[in-house]
């Protein structure tokens, strides 16, 4: 299905309430969350009790008559967006659909990466990305320093310059310790097919 645009009152209802109306009465949303403009929901079939994932890409525009649009799909379509909340993933019932299984695995991998970084990434830590980046001034690097100010979201620094790298957390392959050892993140482990290092807990224990 393509994008569908129409008029929607932005403050009248939540995404859960809005998309519940789009579903047949046979289906009920039992877990949901919106991440980066994508609505994820665990939907129960009231007849079979099967719970599957519903995904809707959403977009707000400045058009007064067509200010909201969405494109929906289910997990069997192999959605490209895979940041469904854990509550949605945990509510799903087992499936044998290969596309759905691959999508669920991608979502779990996303959370594994974010959980790892929340646990170990600290201001001043060097990180290595999965690829070398080239900036407009010609500088090339795959290694940066993580920085954070107060409670604002953290960011990466190269030298004295703050780097604008979209979704950089998804590309962190390793954290570099003060003695220049690398501890692979889940993404790094997947990229190199190597297990996590045995020194992980000792090097980064807070």
> Residues 86-109: what's their mean pLDDT?
97
Query: How many of the other CB atoms lie within 10 Å of CB of 2?
Result: 5
Q: Pick the closest to residue 5 from 74, 58, 81 (CA basis).
A: 58
| Residue 53, beta-bridge partner list | 42
Q: What percent of the chain has a predicted confidence (pLDDT) above 70?
A: 93
Going by C-beta distance under 8 Å and a sequence separation of 6 or more, which residues neighbour residue 62? Answer: none
Side-chain half-sphere exposure of 71, counting CA atoms within 13 A: 9
Q: From the centroid of its chain, how far is CA 148?
A: 20
Q: What is the 3-state secondary structure (H, E, C) of 89-121?
A: HHHCCCCCCHHHHHHHHHHHHHHHHHHHHHHHC
Going by C-beta distance under 8 Å and a sequence separation of 6 or more, which residues neighbour residue 159? Answer: none
At 31, is the secondary structure helix, strand, or coil?
Answer: strand
Task: Write the pLDDT tens digit of every residue in 45-87.
Answer: 999 999 999 999 999 999 999 999 999 999 999 899 999 999 9
**In whole angstroms, what is the distance from residue 42 CA to residue 54 CA?**
6
**In whole angstroms, what is the distance from residue 93 CA to residue 52 CA?**
7
At 17, is the secondary structure helix, strand, or coil?
Answer: helix
Does residue 195 or residue 152 have the better pLDDT?
152
pLDDT tier, 194 (very low <50, low <70, confident <90, very high otherwise): low
Instruction: With residue 29 as reference, give the H or E element that holds it.
Output: strand 27-35
Task: Write the pLDDT tens digit of every residue in 127-168.
Answer: 999 999 999 888 999 999 999 988 888 999 999 899 999 999
In angstroms and rounded to an integer, the radius of gyration of the C-alpha atoms of the chain is 20
């Amino acid at each position: 299905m393509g994008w569908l645009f129409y008029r929607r009152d932005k403050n009248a209802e939540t995404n859960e309430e809005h998309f519940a109306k789009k579903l047949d009465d046979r289906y009920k949303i039992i877990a949901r969350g919106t991440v980066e403009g994508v609505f994820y929901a665990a939907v129960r079939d009231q007849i079979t009790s099967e719970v599957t994932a519903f995904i809707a890409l959403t977009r707000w525009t400045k058009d007064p008559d067509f200010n909201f649009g969405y494109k929906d799909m289910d997990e069997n379509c192999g959605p490209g967006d895979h940041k469904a909340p854990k509550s949605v993933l945990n509510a799903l019932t087992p499936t044998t659909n290969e596309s759905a299984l691959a999508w669920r695995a991608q979502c779990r991998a996303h959370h594994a990466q974010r959980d790892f970084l929340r646990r170990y990434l600290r201001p001043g830590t060097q990180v290595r990305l999965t690829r070398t980046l080239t900036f407009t001034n010609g500088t090339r690097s795959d290694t940066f320093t993580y920085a954070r100010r107060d409670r604002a979201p953290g960011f990466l620094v190269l030298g004295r310059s703050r780097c604008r790298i979209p979704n950089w957390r998804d590309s962190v392959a390793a954290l570099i310790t003060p003695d220049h050892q690398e501890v692979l993140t889940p993404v790094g482990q997947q990229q190199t097919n190597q297990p996590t290092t045995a020194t992980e807990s000792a090097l980064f224990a807070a």
